[in-house]
Amino acid sequence: MATDFSYPDAAAKAANLPKEFDPEKMSLSMGPSHPSTHGVLRIQFELDGEIVTKADPVVGYLHRGDEKIAENMTYNQFVPYTDRLDYLAPLANNMAYAIAVERLAGLEVPARCQAIRVLTAEMARVSAHLMGLGAFGIDVGAWTVFMYCFEEREKLYKLFEELTGARFTTSYSRIGGLTRDVPEGWTQRVDAFCDQFLPILDEILGLLSRNKIFLDRTVDVGVISKADAIAYGLTGPNLRGSGVPNDLRKDRPYSGYEQYEFDVPVGSKGDCYDRYLCRGEEMKQSIRIIRQVVKNFPGGAWHAQDARRIFAPPKDKVLTSMEELINNFMLVTEGPQMPAGEVYFEAENPKGVLGFYIVSKGGGVPYRMKIRSPSFCNLSILPKLCVGNLVSDVVSILGSLDFVMGECDR
């Protein structure tokens, strides 16, 4: 006699199973709390044996309403919320957001501010890719890689902490500048990090690049064609892994990226292995940029000088001059004053292209702000990508897409 595994409650049963459920198939829910879904992604699978026949990603478990919050606070108050988008690269988010608002204000920041932003964004890229690589390693069974990556990442976080006062929630950008200048001797310590990091990076990549197990798990798995990558709006290493050489740092340089020499690594096949190779090479290119920034580190002001109603005046002026005190007070209570209009700015973040669409009616608070998050778009290809693969290959695919749910769900 067959055992009855069905739910006692018929209504609950109907709610939990996908519509048009085929009794030959099996339904499997992966996540939201699953080690290889990197956060709170849940995928509702329909399986035929071990082959995925349908995949329905369920996102939104980390939705905090960041866009609603942005409409209710001043431009500077929103900076800490950008830390929590891609929480593995907060410095890059800070920079993207600050530049978007500066485009709205029509404000140019001085060369030193731009250089510091590029430096921190590239360090954030290295740390984010280290995390992605380590987690990808664990997903396909390589524990050692994770430990190596985390040790290097920790060194970067020490540097971030020294610069911003926080390891993760850096909130380093302000509209029109930064929270503070770099500390004494900090750039030399960044350079020293680069010196010791490159040989270790080769060692880390050496653990995977010709590893038989790793190759078996990634080569020809999860192939994204060029056309698909474009149709689904993929960006970042996931797009470049498919052979599309799009990199906003090259194509539409912002914050002075045009001064630096670097190459854009591009994959040939678009499988999980190509995406891994792209990230590995991107880290080396980021180190190249970091070295150039440190070598030609510009002096001068580190925040916009002519931004009276946007960037806070220095503290000693606030305490000694009436006008600056009023200015500071107005800035804190009413926010940086922006003209009316619309801008859309995108920056090349570690996970892909992070965009801010700001609709302003003037004043210190945006009327509408849309955050175009790369992880959201990169995940939207999953229903197509997972079908036909083994469940264990889905784990490789998720690891290679390197998403972060804080940004996807906003």
Partner 1 sequence: MTTDVALPTAVSLQFPSAAPRPSLDCPAFNVPADGALALLHYLRDTQGYDFLMDVTAIDWSAEVSPRFTVVWHLYSSTKHTYVRVAAECASDAEPAMPTATGLWAGADWHEREAYDMFGIKFTGHPDLRRILMWDAYPYFPLRKEFPLAGLPTEMSDADINAEIGVGVISAPMVGGPFVATPGEPMSAAEPRAKDEAWSEKREKPE
Q: Which residues of the chain form contacts with partner 1 (CB under 8 A)?
A: 9, 11-12, 15, 59-60, 63, 65, 67-69, 72, 103-104, 106, 228, 230-234, 244, 246, 251-252, 339, 341-346, 353, 355, 357, 359, 367-368, 370, 372, 376-377, 379-381, 384, 409-410
Q: How far is the CB of 64 from partner 1 (least distance, A)?
A: 10
Give the Cβ contact number of residue 145 at 10 Å.
24
Q: Which is nearer to partner 1, 274 or 346 (CB)?
A: 346
User: Which three-class secondary structure state does DSSP give residue 344?
Assistant: strand
Q: Which is nearer to partner 1, 35 or 339 (CB)?
A: 339
Size of the chain, expressed as the number of residues it contains: 410
Q: How far is the CB of 96 from partner 1 (least distance, A)?
A: 14
Residue 107 to residues 48, 189, 310: CA-CA distances in angstroms? 57, 31, 9
CB 254 within 8 A of CB 312: no
Q: How far is the CB of 296 from partner 1 (least distance, A)?
A: 23
Q: Which is nearer to partner 1, 198 or 223 (CB)?
A: 223
Q: Which is nearer to partner 1, 252 or 315 (CB)?
A: 252
User: Which three-class secondary structure state does DSSP give residue 297?
Assistant: coil
Q: How far is the CB of 104 from partner 1 (least distance, A)?
A: 6
Q: How far is the CB of 341 from partner 1 (least distance, A)?
A: 4
CB 232 within 8 A of CB 381: yes
Q: Which amino acid is at 402?
A: D
Residues of 214-242 as b/e, b for ≥16 C-beta within 10 angstroms? beebbeebbbbeeeebeebbbbbbbbbbb
Q: How far is the CB of 291 from partner 1 (least distance, A)?
A: 26
Q: Order of strands, edge to edge, in the sheet holding 368-372?
A: 338-349, 352-363, 368-372
Q: Which is nearer to partner 1, 138 or 377 (CB)?
A: 377
Q: Which value, in Å, is the radius of gyration of the alpha carbons in the chain?
A: 23
Q: What is the dihedral of CA 335, 339, 340, 346, to 10 degrees?
A: -80
Q: Which is nearer to partner 1, 116 or 244 (CB)?
A: 244
Cα angle: 234, vertex 29, 376; to 5 degrees:
20
Q: How far is the CB of 346 from partner 1 (least distance, A)?
A: 7
Q: Which is nearer to partner 1, 103 or 284 (CB)?
A: 103
Give the Cβ contact number of residue 365 at 10 Å.
20
